């Protein structure tokens, strides 16, 4: 059996960087990436046969845990009928109805295969609807690898210390206004200067790609008001938070009413699926009804759609899942804080529902600059120690941890015991 290092060495011969998404390379923590062979419930097993309690969860989709039986059954039924038609299926309508009925003001949706594709399409629709070109985004928010949004991006780009990507032209970048998160005055200044040219404001209602960063009180309401007063559209990127932090996403949790919403991760149940949607008049601009073109051969893939329906149906019919996730997540966050204080390790924990990030610093963290004050070297050592103790964490300080309904109190307690041992080692220097 190959080791993780051997598998990575071979992958680098055929795959750019040895991985198909940059953060997976583990460079931020100075380790060899894990190659997984299996996952079930709250656990994953690598190709060396080592088992870990998993807090990555495929970066968020596995809210029910790995290989959840309802999802596997749905995928199996759909695949037996065919993996793809490139034509409409009634299951697409079923999923679309679930989304429209659960989101604030969302009357029509369009399914895509990835969050990046959904964001790209939403921006095009916003520009087509308003007849304007400029987009406002926020430093540290990551919206996929769309050219115009790879400006002060978070997630993998931030992890590698290269917030701007080569290959993005100056002309494209010039159409994006980047503002600090949680700064209403900066939004007011931008719209005062460029308001008549701004097509939309796009934001993660709870940032997850500079680590979890919550909006301050009144921030989202102010942002929505300023955006709409200028005739621009408010787009919420809920690829990460949608159906993760609450039924209907962060917009239901915080009572935000966007003009458009972008979704992914949980709505696909671990399969490649995403969506963008909004008011009927806005979505009427999308082809074939309108002049804004968007298409995709595998959009609305029946296997992916079946997985999404299975997850959303389970969440809708079992509201106790969210209550349980809240209890588990609160217990983990409080336990980590207690362990850190016990060993005099500065730690600031930001949490929203079943997403959390322990920042290795005093905090608070309200924006990208605040997140960057974290001790990334100490986090890297903590990651290595926790991995050695059987806990799999995101390989970057600037990512969210995810708790699933498959996690048990025993898992949480085992994780806290490992964290206590890891903090003790960190305290020794």
Marked catalytic residue, from 52, 55, 142, 348: 142
b/e 223-260 (16+ beta carbons within 10 angstroms → b): bbebbeebebbbbbbbbbbbbbbbebbbbbbbebebbb
Contact predicate 136/177, CB 8 Å = yes
Instruction: Identify the bridge partners of residue 134 per DSSP, sorted by sequence position.
Output: 198
> Residue 74 — φ and ψ, nearest 5°?
-65, -45
> Are the C-beta atoms of residues 152 and 395 closer than 8 Å to each other?
no
Q: Is 429 exposed, middle or buried (0-12, 13-18, 19+ CB in 10 A)?
A: exposed
Whether 289 is catalytic: no
Q: Is 410 an active-site residue?
A: no
What are the CB-based long-range contacts (under 8 Å, 24+) for 365-368? 365/211, 365/213, 366/181, 366/182, 366/213, 366/216, 367/139, 367/140, 367/180, 367/181, 367/182, 367/183, 367/210, 367/213, 368/139, 368/140, 368/152, 368/154, 368/158, 368/180, 368/181, 368/210
How many CB atoms are closer than 10 A to CB 285? Answer: 17
Q: List phi, psi (to 5°) of 303.
A: -70, -45
Q: How far, in Å, CA of 201 to CA of 318, rounded?
A: 34
Indicate if 237 belongs to the active site.
yes
Q: How many CA atoms lie within 13 A of 217 on its CB side?
A: 0
Selected catalytic residue, list 137, 181, 259, 265: 265
CA atoms of 104 and 260, how far apart (whole Å): 9
- Active-site pick, 46, 237, 259, 411: 237
How far is residue 147's CA from residue 194's CA, in Å, rounded to a whole number? 21
Separation CA 320–CA 299 (nearest Å): 32
What are the residue numbers of the active site?
142, 237, 265
């Amino acid at each position: 059996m190959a080791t993780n290092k051997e598998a990575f060495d071979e992958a680098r011969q055929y795959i750019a960087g040895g991985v198909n998404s940059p953060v997976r390379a583990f460079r931020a923590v100075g380790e060899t990436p894990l190659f997984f062979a299996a996952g079930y419930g709250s656990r994953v097993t690598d190709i060396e046969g080592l088992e870990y309690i998993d807090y990555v969860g495929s970066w968020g989709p596995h809210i029910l845990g790995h290989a959840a039986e309802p999802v596997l059954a749905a995928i199996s039924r759909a695949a037996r009928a065919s993996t793809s038609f490139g034509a409409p299926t009634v299951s697409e309508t079923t999923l679309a109805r679930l989304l429209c009925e659960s989101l604030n003001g969302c009357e029509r949706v369009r399914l895509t295969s990835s969050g990046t594709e959904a964001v790209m399409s939403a921006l095009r629709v916003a520009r087509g609807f308003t007849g304007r070109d400029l987009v406002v985004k926020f430093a540290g928010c990551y919206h996929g690898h769309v050219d115009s949004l790879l400006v002060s991006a978070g997630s993998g780009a931030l992890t590698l210390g290269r917030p701007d990507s080569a290959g993005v032209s100056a002309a494209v970048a010039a159409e994006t206004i980047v503002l600090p998160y949680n700064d209403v005055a900066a939004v007011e200044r931008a719209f005062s200067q460029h308001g008549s040219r701004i097509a939309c404001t796009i934001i993660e209602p709870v940032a997850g790609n500079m680590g979890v960063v919550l909006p301050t009180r009144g921030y989202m309401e102010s942002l929505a008001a300023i955006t709409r007063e200028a005739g621009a559209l408010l787009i919420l990127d809920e690829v990460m938070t949608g159906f993760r932090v609450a039924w209907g996403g962060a917009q239901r949790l915080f009572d935000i009413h966007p003009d458009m919403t972008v979704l992914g991760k949980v709505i696909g149940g671990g399969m490649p699926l995403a969506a963008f949607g909004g008011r009927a008049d806005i979505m009427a601009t999308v082809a074939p009804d309108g002049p804004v073109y968007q298409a995709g051969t595998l959009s609305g893939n029946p296997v992916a759609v079946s997985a999404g329906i299975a997850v959303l149906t389970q969440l809708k019919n079992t509201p106790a899942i969210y209550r349980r996730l809240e209890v588990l997540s609160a217990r983990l966050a409080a336990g980590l804080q207690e362990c850190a204080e016990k060993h005099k390790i500065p730690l600031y924990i930001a949490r929203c529902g079943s997403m959390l990030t322990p920042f290795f610093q005093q905090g608070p963290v309200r924006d990208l600059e605040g997140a960057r004050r974290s001790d990334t070297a100490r986090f890297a050592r903590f990651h290595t120690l926790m991995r050695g103790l059987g806990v799999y964490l995101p390989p970057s300080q600037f990512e969210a941890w995810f708790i699933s309904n498959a996690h048990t109190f025993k898992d949480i307690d085992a994780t806290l015991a490992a964290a206590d041992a890891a903090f003790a080692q960190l305290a020794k220097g």
